[in-house]
Amino acid sequence: MKKILAAAILFLGLTFTGKAQESTTPNIDPNAPELKFDNEIIDYGTIDYDANTVREFKFKNTGKSPLILSNVQVSCGCTNVDGWPKEPIAPGKSATFKVKYDSKRVGKFDKKITVTSNSKTPSTVLTIKGEVKPAPAAPATPAAPATDKK
């Protein structure tokens, strides 16, 4: 009798465990939008101090329903994002937004931009990286000629 009771408890335990696992598996809509970037990394290479650093991230909705970007967030104040679309992007359509790094910050940089959307993968992390050269030395100011007072 104890064996039957133990088997029944084990069976019920496995049944409920299986149901709990099924309910935590995310249901991905096969018609959901899909966010696909041309490049997820922009490498500036080595750039001059105070150089123009405006670059563009291009992306496409490769899914079957409209894509909506709900947020585009930078990892620090040295990077700015401009023009990310607030309106839905239709399936098959492309869009862009611009990013700018503060090139008055000398040295190597590796910054992240997080794009949040309603796509199958709701969060995408983009990267900008490079190195800013030191500021050029200021030209020497010639000394004023000495004047003799007689």
**pLDDT tens, 139-149?**
766 666 666 66
Of 73, 77, 36, which is closest to residue 57 (Cα–Cα)? 36
> Is-contact 37 99, C-beta < 8 A?
no
Mean pLDDT of 106-115: 97
| Amino acid code (one letter) for 36 | K
pLDDT at position 8: 54
Residues 54-103 have pLDDT tens digits of 999 999 999 999 999 999 999 999 999 999 999 999 999 999 999 999 99
The architecture (CATH level 2) of 35-132 comes to Sandwich (2.60)
Q: Which residue has the higher pLDDT, 56 or 15?
A: 56
Of 32, 33, 55, 52, which is closest to residue 42 (Cα–Cα)? 55
Distance CA 81, CA 94 (A): 18
Domain ranges of the chain: 35-132
First to last CA, the chain: 126
